[in-house]
Each structure stands twice: as C-alpha cells, then as structure tokens.
Amino acid sequence: MAFEDVWKKISWLYYQYILVTALYMLEPWERAIFNSILISVAGMAVYTGYVFMPQHIMAILQYFEMVQ
Amino acid sequence: MTESSANKPANGQVCHRVKNGVKPGRNGFIKNHHHYHHQQPMYCYPEDKVQHTTCNGSSGLGLYSRPFIESFEETPMLVAVLTYMGYGILTIFGYLRDFLRDWKIERCHVAREREEQRDFVPLYQDFENFYTRNLYMRIRDSWNRPICSVPGAKVDLVERVSPDYNWTFDYTGKVVEGVINMGSYNYLGFAENTGYCADASAEVTMKYGVGVASTRQEMGNLDRHEEMEELVAKFLGVESAMAFGMGFATNSMNIPALTGKGCLILSDELNHASLVLGARLSGSTIRVFKHNNMQSLEKMLRDAIVHGQPRTHRPWKKILILVEGIYSMEGSIVRLPEVIALKKRYRAYLYLDEAHSIGALGPGGRGVVDYFGLDPRDVDVMMGTFTKSFGAAGGYIGGRKELLEYLRSHSHSAVYAASMSPPVVEQIIASMKCIMGEDGTTLGRDRVQQLAENTLYFRRRLTEMGFIIYGNNDSPVVPMMLYMPAKIGAFGREMLKRNIGVVVVGFPATPIIESRARFCISAAHTKDMLDTALSVISEVGDLLQVKYSRHKRLIYDQIQD
C-alpha cells in the first residue's frame, strides 16, 4: 500500500517535471534524448564531486588553517 | 519594492497603487474607501496593478457611479523564468526537427515547394512558420474541435484521435455528449434550437428562404432588414443603425469610410485584429496608447493637437479614438466615462466596439454605455456584433442619422457585401425583443441578471481557489493564467477528459509568456453546472499546479451595488 502511494507521488512529480520543462509536448524519442542528456550531465557532475570533493575540502580547511 | 507612505495602507484599509505612478486624486479617483472596503482582504503587493476606483457622487468630481475593480496580477518571477526555459527547450527541439526534415531523415508534412522550383523566389516562408510547425502542431488537438450540436450550455463534440501527433486526425465515429461549454460566446444563452427565437427563425425561413442573392443596395433589402435596423437603433438609444453580414467586416470595411489620409487614429494597444486592419486600410496615421490608460491617451491627444500632422504641422482633419467595450483576451472593461470626458474636452470622435459587451453588461443588457449610466449620444460611432449575445451572426453600427446615411453609400461592406440571411435577421429581432422585454415576458431581464450573478459567482470562486484571473470583476470573459506552454495543451486535454470544453489561448493572440485559458460565462449555465465546472477546474488546477496567485484571499461577502 505504501509502495502504491510512493509510486503515485513519484509519478505526479515526474508529470510536473514534464510539464515545466515542456517535455509534455514532445514525442517519446525526443523525451528520451533530453532525459538521457540531462541524466548524463547530472551523473558526470555527481561523479566529479565524488572524486574531487575530499581534495577540495582539505584545501579549504588548510586555507582556514584548521588542519595542517 | 520600497514601501513609501503612499503604498502603506492607512489604518488597515486596502492599499492601492494608482496605475502609472500618477498621484491619486486625478481623473476622478476619490479615496473614499470607508463604506465597503472594510470587508475586503488586505493584499499589499505594491507592484501589482490592482485598482479600486470608487466615486462619491455628491463630490462632483466623480465620473464613476459604481466601483471599477480591475486586477492584473503580475507574473511570478519563477514562473516567468520556467516559462522561458520551456520555450527554449521547445525551440531547440524545433531546430532539431527542422534539421531532420530538411535532410529528409523525417517526412515533412508542411507545405513545401516542388523540387524543380527550388531555386525560384520562395513561396513559403519557412522560418515564419517555425512556431506553427514546431509548437502549435504539437498541441493542436485543443483547437478546431468539431461540434455536432447547438453550442448552448452543453455541447456535443466529435471524438477524434491522431495517429501521427496532430498532423492528421481520424474520427472514431463516436460523439462526446454533454460537454459543459465554457468557451462559446453565448453570454445570454440565445444559442439554442428551441424556444421563441428559433421558432420565429424557422417561420421566416419558410417564407423568405435562406439566401438573399443580392446586396442591400440592389435587390436584397428585405422588410425584415429595415425592421431589424430600427429595432437596433431603439435598443441602443441612437438615431439610426445599420447591420452588416460579418462582424469583422463591419470594423475593417467601415473605418476606411470614416477616416482617410490626414486623419489621426488613436487606438488601444490591445485592440482586435479587425480594428487594426480597418485602421491600416484607411491610410490614416495610427498612434497606439497603452491599454486602458487615460494618461497615455490624454498625452497623445494633447500632442496631436499641439503639434498637428508630422511634417507640415497642419491640424489633423479628425481624430478618432478606437476602443472596445470588453477586451476579450484580458477581460477588462474600457474606462468609458474618462474617455468620453477626454473626447469632449479635446474634440475628438469616439468609435466604440462593443463586440463582447453588448447584451452582457448593464442592467438592461444595453452594453457598456448602460453599465456606466452614460448617454449613448456621447459616443459617435457605436459598433457591435450579433454573434456573441444574440446568437446570430453579423455586426452593426449605430449613430447619428447623417453618419448612417453616409455609411450606407460609402462603406465597402454596405455596397458590396451580400445581405444578411433572413433566419439570422429574425433571430436578431426575436432575441433583441426578448432582451428589451417587448415580447411580453421577463425572460430577457432574467437572463441579464442571471449572467451578472453567474459572472460574480464564478470570478469570486476562482480567485478564492488561488488562480490568477485577469480583468474587471463584472466582465463575463474570465481569462485564467497558465503561462507555461505545456500546461496550455495539458489543461485543454485534461478538461476535455473530465467533460468540460474550454478555450486555451497562447501566442500570438497573447504575449509569449502570458498564455491563458479563457472562460466565457453564459446565462444558460445553471449554478450546478458552474459548481461542477469549478470543482473540475480546481482538480485540474491542483494536478497541473496552476494556482499561482500569491494573494491570500479570504472569503468575503459580495458588495451589493
């Protein structure tokens, strides 16, 4: 039952995303192109953050002289 | 967004900001809010253009005998940004699709030139149709829906499906019945196939036939036409009137007969295409003043009189002000008392297009002149259409006898157009008699009152729900803002799924981000129908998240005027 509600909520959120970005008016293959570009860019950003975040955090802490 | 003392509310009353920064006190604004503004909610967004113009009759400065409440809430910034983003994404995909069509990867459905003529001067302007090809076509199923019954309060639609994303339509053979009609201009409910008007039209068809086979000047002037014109003149309170077969043609063919080179036309920013076309065809100089803005109009009149014609500085032969009674895309009502005061002061002529307001405003249904309680002889040319409130087709012009005699011989539409068809004429006569009360019943008066009640109720409920509604509180045209392009199509489709037919409008009829759904209230709508429609609109509004209004409206009592 809870899974139904969650699924409905996610479905509604996806519908809002589709409406706001005007993907609602596009054909399925166009939506696929846009979604894949968006997910790949977002994925790349997350990966970059994961790889470089420790170095950046150490650099900030060293700048503020909190750790040598 | 600084809060100056002019913007802060004084002892808890409504704070209002006069449009265009002019100090309150000019143009008949009297700050006399005491007697009814206590009940109104406080909403203090200084950037919103909410107008409360009241008038205390005894003060003598007042031009308005009743409150003039208009609101045009400003677009929320986030919504505007997201709308532009949506259009940007659609444009990018439009370019992609055009590229695919150009390189023949995809089949092209639009009109193209033949291969052999590719190097000739192009016939079809490809880029101008970019919007039509790539944006309009995708949601085209919300428009041009075929109807197969009389467009009254409920209508039957022919069901259609599209296998190729709206380039072609197939009819399934089924009919969607009983769709609540919120889109027809059926203000007084005269679009019906039973009743006194329909019977009279049927009788006249039996006697006169349907076609007239001539123009008015040759052999097409029936006695029904003469009777109709006399009735129209009596209805409006003018000396004489004349009717034409098409409302658009009334404007576009008669303005060239009234003005010419050396005349000045001052036209409102949001005038209808027929007025704009008529003004351009006339060859006069056209100057556009800001929508319903009396300061802008007065400044233009003063400039025109002081400076005269552009290079020679000779005085203008005549100055004609073109305004409409109700602007159908905004739902706003013209500030007629002020326009007439300006016209008299600066000796200009006034052309009032009452296409949507005749029959729909005023205690007697006589239009915007009746609504403000003014004298119809102050308006030089009163034009209107029979399409909206009378359930017929055509347009009319009313005014002084000399003007009408001149127009009968000099107007293109009068000389060349075929006469109006007898059943249509009879429908006009019957409905007008009904509104005036001359057929012995109170049906007309009841309908006018019903329309006013329906309008007030519908607008109040929609603003309470949190939608952004434009326009005057008394106008039966209710534009509801949607803004985002995908929501235009989604709204139309979702409403039809739930059996309500609405008209959604986007660019180019409106500015690009201000797309809207336009409801037209009818006297034929019962309260149950309106309640059903309102609950469905609320449901769809929640589904689509179009309740953008930032004003927390409290439920307040209606002001009885």
Q: Does residue B551 carry a catalytic annotation? A: no
Question: Taking a C-beta distance cutoff of 8 angstroms, is the pair B242, B386 a contact?
Answer: no
CA distance B82 to chain A (A): 7
Task: List the structure tokens of B507.
Answer: 């660019």
**pTM for this entry:** 0.84
DSSP of B67-88: -EEEEEPPPPHHHHHHHHHHHH
Q: From residue B13, give the alpha-carbon distance in Å to each of B20, B34, B42, B351, B552.
A: 21, 8, 7, 38, 16
- Please list every residue in chain A whose beta carbon sits closer than 8 Å to the beta carbon of residue B135: 25
d(CA B130, nearest CA chain A) in Å: 15
Distance CA B110, CA B38 (A): 59
- In this predicted structure, the answer to whether residue A40 has a pLDDT above a threshold of 90 is yes
Contact (CB<8Å) B89/A24:
no
Instruction: Find which of A24, A33, A38 to mutate to test the B interface (most B CBs within 10 Å of its CB).
Output: A24
pLDDT-derived band of residue A68, with 50, 70 and 90 as boundaries?
A: low
How far is it, in rounded angstroms, from Cα B535 to Cα B539? 6
Angle between helices B527-544 and B485-497 (to 10 degrees): 140
Domain assignment present for residue A68? The answer is: no
**What φ, ψ does residue B457 adopt, rounded to 5°?**
-65, -50
Distance from CA of B112 to the nearest CA of A (A): 23
- Relative to beta strand B68-72, strand B49-53 is antiparallel
Q: What is residue B32's predicted lDDT score, i.e. its pLDDT?
A: 38
CB spacing of A20 vs B82 below 8 angstroms:
yes
Sheet of B477-481: strand order equals B477-481, B516-520, B503-505
Is A32 part of a structural domain of the chain? yes
Cβ distance B486 to A30 less than 8 Å, yes or no, reads no
Q: Are residues B334 and B323 in contact, defined by beta-carbon separation less than 8 angstroms?
A: yes
Specify the number of domains making up chain A: 1
In a domain, A8, yes or no: yes
- Token couple for B415: 């000389």
Gap between the Cα atoms of B371 and B359, Å rounded: 10
Q: Which domain holds residue A48?
A: 2-63
Dist CA B251 CA B533 (whole Å) = 35
DSSP for residue B555: P
Are the Cβ atoms of A19 and B484 closer than 8 angstroms? yes
Per-residue HEC secondary structure of A24-44 comes to: HHCCHHHHHHHHHHHHHHHHH
Question: Least CB-CB distance to B489: which of A16, A25, A34?
Answer: A25
What is the pLDDT, as a whole number, of residue B24?
41
Interchain CB distance below 8 Å, A25 and B85: no
pLDDT digits (tens, 9 = 90+) for B163-193: 989 999 999 999 999 999 999 999 999 998 9
> Which residue of A24, A27, A30 is in closest CB contact with B490?
A24
Is the Cβ–Cβ distance between B380 and B349 less than 8 Å? Answer: yes
Q: Which of A9, A16, A20, A34 to mutate to test the interface with B (most CBs of B within 10 A)?
A: A20
Does the annotation mark B388 as catalytic? yes
Tell me if B86 and A16 make a contact (CB, 8 A cut-off). Answer: no
- CB contact (8 A) between residue B544 and residue A18: no
Alpha-carbon Rg for chain B in angstroms: 25
Q: Is residue A35 part of a domain?
A: yes
Cα B289 to its chain centre, rounded Å, is 18
CB contact under 8 A, A20 and B489: no
| Residue A57, in any domain of the structure | yes
Kindly list the residues from chain B whose CB atom is less than 8 angstroms away from the CB atom of residue A18: 486
B328 in catalytic set: yes
> Which of A12, A22, A30 is closest, CB to CB, to B486?
A22
> How far B487 CA lies from chain A's nearest CA (Å)?
6
pLDDT on residue B227: 95
Active-site hit among B201, B252, B296, B328 = B328
| pLDDT value for B103 | 85
**Residue-level pLDDT at B105:** 82
Distance (Å, whole) CA B476 – CA B388:
11
> Residues for chain A: how many in total?
68
Residues facing residue B154 across a β-bridge: B180
Q: Are B485 and A22 in contact (CB under 8 A)?
A: yes
Closest-CA residue of chain A to B79 = A20
Inter-chain CB pairs, A–B, below 8 Å: 46
Phi, psi of A21 (to 5 degrees): -85, 10
Among B96, B138, B486, select the one facing A19 at the smallest CB separation: B486
Q: Average pLDDT over chain A, rounded to whole?
A: 92
Which candidate from B89, B96, B165 shows the least CB-CB separation from A22? B89
Q: Given B93, B138, B490, which is nearest A19 (Cβ)?
A: B490
pLDDT at B46: 44
Instruction: Answer yes or no: do B486 and A27 touch at CB < 8 A.
Output: no
CB contact (8 A) between residue A27 and residue B165: yes
Q: Which residues of chain B have pLDDT under 70?
A: 1-61, 552-561
List all residues 6 or more positions away from A15 whose beta carbon is below 8 Å from its beta carbon.
Answer: B543
At A33, phi and psi to the nearest 5? -60, -50
A59 within domain boundaries: yes
Do the beta carbons of residue B82 and residue A20 sit within 8 Å?
A: yes
